[in-house]
Structure 1
Amino acid sequence: MIHFDFAASNLQVKSSAERGAAHTVPRAIPLAIYWIILMKRLHVLGGPGSGKTALAKIICELSGLPHIELDHMAYADSDFFRPRCREDRLAAVKTYSSKEAWVAEGVYFSWIGRSLKYADRIYHLTIDQVERQRNIDAKLSLRFPERDERHARHLAMLSLSNSEYDALYKNRIEGFLKPVRDKLIIVHSMEDALKEFGTLRAN
C-alpha cells in the first residue's frame, strides 16, 4: 500500500513493504502514474551505490510494475563471489525482457543488451563517486551488521568497482549505449529521475 501526503512541499511516499519507511520525492511524481500507462518497460543503470534499487522500488510501488533486480541474475543469492555463467544471465534477461511490463535495475551492461533494446525508457544515474561510496558503506552495514569477513570482502569488491566505474563508463559503457540514446535519460540524482516523469507528462 502507498500513502500520499499532498499537503507537504514534497510528496511523502510511504510503502508498507518498507515497514512504514517514508521516501520523500517531488510533488510531480503523481503524473508518473499516468505516464507509466504508456511506458511499461524501464531500465535503470548506474554505478555501485548510485541509487538504482531505491529508484526502481519507488517506481514499482507507484506504478505496480514488477521489479527486476539484475544482481539476482548475475550472482547466486546476490553473493558477488558466486557468479552465474553468462548463458544463464542471458537466458534470464530474455525471459523478463519479453514480458509486457517491468522495471529492471543493475550496474551491468555487457549482457543486458536485450533489456535495453526492449525498454521504453532507460535511466542512467550519474551520481558522484564519493556519494556512491557512502551509499555502499551504508547498504553493506545493513546487510552485514556484524561486519564479518563477508562484509569486508563485499566492501572491497564494491569499492574497487566504484572507483573504476567512471572510467569504465567513458571507455566502454557510453559507446554501448549509443544505439539506444534516443530513449536514454541521464540524471544526476534519484530526485531528478522522478521529476522527469512530470516533464514527460507535461509534454
Structure 2
Amino acid sequence: MSHYCLHTMNLTRTLIIGNSGSGKSWLAKRLADRLQAPWIDLDLIHWVSDEHSIARPRAEALGMARVAASKEHWVIEGVYDWIVSELVEQATALIWLCLEDDDCVNNIRQREAKRNEDELLMALLEWAGSYRTREGSSGFAAHQRLFDEFSGSKLQLMSQAEVTAFVTPLRETPIL
C-alpha cells in the first residue's frame, strides 16, 4: 500500500498527526532527513516547559507555528488539532498515524523505560490510552475530521509495520 503512495505524494510540506506514542516524531525525523527539510515538533511550540507541563499562551503558540509553516519545505508533527488546523492550508501532504491506543501506550512505556513512573508519565499513559474516546482537539474524532477534510495528498497508517513500510522506500528513492 504505502510503497506506491510515496511516489504519488507531494511531501514538500508534510503534516503528521496521531496519538501520543504513535511514532510521529520517529517518522518526522526520518522524513525530514530524507527530504532535507526542517522538522518541527509541535510539543516544542505548545509547551514552554514539557518537564513542568506549562503551556505556552495560545496566540503565541499559533504565531510560532505559522512562522514555521511559512517556510518552503517542512515536516511538522503533533497531536494538537487546534494548531494543525491553522497550518493545513499550507500543507501538501497529511499523514495520520492511527495506531491502536494500546500500541501507543506500549510505545510510550518503551520510550520512557528508564523514567520513574511519576505523575506526568502516568498522565501521559492515561492520555494516550483515551485517544479514541477523548473529546476535544487532540482526540481521534478531531483527527478523523481533519483527515477527511484534507484535499491534498494524504495517507493513513494503521500499524507500526505500515509506518516502517512507508519509511523503507524513503531510503531507496532518489530525491526528486
Specify the TM-score bucket, using the shorter chain as the normaliser: 0.7 to 0.9
Is 2:13–2:72's contact at 8 Å kept on the other side of the alignment?
Answer: yes
Is 2:94–2:147's contact at 8 Å kept on the other side of the alignment?
Answer: no
What's the offset of the Cα at 1:114? 2.4
Aligned-pair identity (%)? 20
Question: Structure 1 residues 62 and 197 mapped into 2: Cα distance closer, same or farther (>3 Å)?
Answer: closer
**Structure 1 partner of 2:166:** 193
For structure 1, the residue ranges without an aligned partner over 5 or more in a row are: 1-25
**Structure 2 partner of 1:101:** 73
1:153 is aligned to 2:92: no
TM-score between the two structures when normalised by the length of structure 2: 0.79
What's the offset of the Cα at 1:192? 4.1
For the aligned residues, what is the CA RMSD?
Answer: 3.0
For structure 2, the residue ranges without an aligned partner over 5 or more in a row are: none
Is 1:90–1:112's contact at 8 Å kept on the other side of the alignment?
Answer: no
What's the offset of the Cα at 1:170? 4.6
Question: Structure 1 residues 105 and 170 mapped into 2: Cα distance closer, same or farther (>3 Å)?
Answer: closer
Say which SS state the counterpart of residue 93 (structure 1) adopts: helix
Question: Structure 1 residues 125 and 80 mapped into 2: Cα distance closer, same or farther (>3 Å)?
Answer: farther
TM-score between the two structures when normalised by the length of structure 1: 0.69
Is 2:48–2:54's contact at 8 Å kept on the other side of the alignment?
Answer: yes
1:1-203 alignment, distance < 5 Å: 39-79=11-51, 81-142=53-114, 144=115, 147=116, 151-168=117-134, 169-188=139-158, 189=160, 190-194=163-167
What's the offset of the Cα at 1:182? 4.3
| Aligned partner letter, 1:193 | F
Higher relative contact order (CA 8 A, sep 6+): 2
Q: How many residue pairs are counted as aligned between the two chains? A: 164
Question: Structure 1 residues 123 and 53 mapped into 2: Cα distance closer, same or farther (>3 Å)?
Answer: same
Is 1:74–1:89's contact at 8 Å kept on the other side of the alignment?
Answer: yes
Deviates more, 1:104-113 or 1:64-73: 104-113
Is 2:16–2:96's contact at 8 Å kept on the other side of the alignment?
Answer: yes
Larger radius of gyration between Structure 1 and Structure 2: 1
